Amino acid sequence: MSSETKQILTTDGIPLEVSLKKAEKKNKIKAFLLVAPLLLFLVITYIFPIGDMFMRSVDDRMVTNMLPKTFKAMEKWENLDELPPEEVYRGFYEDYKLLAENQQHGKLGQRLNKEKNGFNTITKKLFRQIKRKKIDESASLKEQINKLHKRWRDVEYWQAIKRTAPPYTASKYLKGMDMYFAADGSIAQVDEDRRIHRILWLRTLEIAFFVTLFCFFMGYPIAHLLATLPMKYSNLLMICVLLPFWTSLLVRTASWMILLQQQGIVNDFFVMIGLVADDNRPEMMYNKVGTYVAMTQILLPFMVLPLYSVMKTISPSLMRAGKSLGGTPFVAFWKVYFPLTIPGIGAGCLLVFILAIGYYITPALVGGASGTLISNQIAFHMKTTLDWSFASAMGLMLLTGVLVIYWIYNKLVGVDNIKLG
Partner 1 sequence: MALPSYTETRYRIWHYIYIAICTFVFFFLIAPLFVIFPLSFNAEEFLVFSEGMKNLDPDAFSLRWYKDMIYGTKNPWGLAAKNSFIIAIFATIGSIILGTLAALGLSSRHMPYKGIIMATLISPMIVPLIISGVAIFFFMAKAGLAATHTGIVLAHIILGTPFVVITVTATLSGFDHSVTRAAASLGSNPVNTFMKITLPLILPGVISGGLFAFVTSFDEVVVVLFLAGLENTTIPVQMWTGLREQLSPTILAVATCLILLSTLILVSAELLRRRSERLRGINR
Binder among 8, 18, 202, 258 for partner 1 (CB under 8 A): 258
Q: Any contact of residue 144 with partner 1 (CB under 8 A)? A: no
Return the residues of window 160-219 that contact partner 1 according to CB under 8 A. 218-219
| Interacting residue with partner 1 among 264, 327, 346, 368 (CB under 8 A) | 264
| Contact status: 379 vs partner 1 (CB under 8 A) | yes
Residue 420 as a binder of partner 1 (CB under 8 A): the answer is yes
Q: Which residues of 411-421 are buried (b: 16+ CB within 10 A; e: fewer)?
A: eebeeeeeeee
Report helix, strand or coil for 276.
Answer: coil
The values of phi and psi at residue 201, to 5°, are -60, -50
Question: What is the rounded CA–CA span in Å between residue 230 and residue 239?
Answer: 15
| CB 165, CB 88: distance < 8 Å | no
CB of 281 to partner 1, least distance (A): 12
- Residue 237 within binding range of partner 1, rule CB under 8 A: yes
- By CB under 8 A, what part of segment 17-46 binds partner 1? 24, 27-28, 30-39, 41-46
Q: Please state, in angstroms and rounded to a whole number, the distance separating the CA atoms of residues 382 and 387.
A: 6
Query: What is the size of the binding site for partner 1 (CB under 8 A)?
Result: 93
Smallest separation (angstroms) from partner 1 to the CB of 338: 14
Shortest separation between residue 234's beta carbon and partner 1, angstroms: 11
Shortest Å distance, C-beta 278 to partner 1: 14
Within positions 276 to 315, which residues make up the interface with partner 1, using CB under 8 A?
297, 300-301, 312
Q: Is the torsion defined by CA of 351, 354, 355, 357 positive or negative?
A: positive
Q: Does 234 bind partner 1 (CB under 8 A)?
A: no
CB atoms within 10 A of CB 176: 24
User: Contact with partner 1 (CB under 8 A): which of 141, 259, 336, 349?
Assistant: 259
Angle, helices 86-101/105-115, rounded to nearest 10 degrees: 130
Q: What are phi and psi of 15, to 5 degrees?
A: -60, 145
Considering only residues 356 to 375 of the shown chain, the ones binding partner 1 according to CB under 8 A are 357-361, 364-365, 375
Site residues for partner 1, window 43-102 (CB under 8 A)?
A: 43-50, 52-53, 56
SS3 of 231-255: the string is HHHHHHHHHHHHHHHHCCHHHHHHH
Q: How far is 117 from 183, CA to CA, in rounded Å?
A: 12
Binding of partner 1 at residue 265 (CB under 8 A)? yes
Q: Point out which span in 60-68, 172-180, 190-198, 226-234 binds partner 1 (CB under 8 A).
A: 226-234
Which of 82, 196, 329, 338 is close enough to bind partner 1 by CB under 8 A?
329
Q: Restricting to residues 385-414, name those near partner 1 by CB under 8 A.
A: 388, 391-392, 395-396, 398-399, 402, 406, 410
The sign of the dihedral angle between the CA atoms of 199, 201, 207, 210 is negative
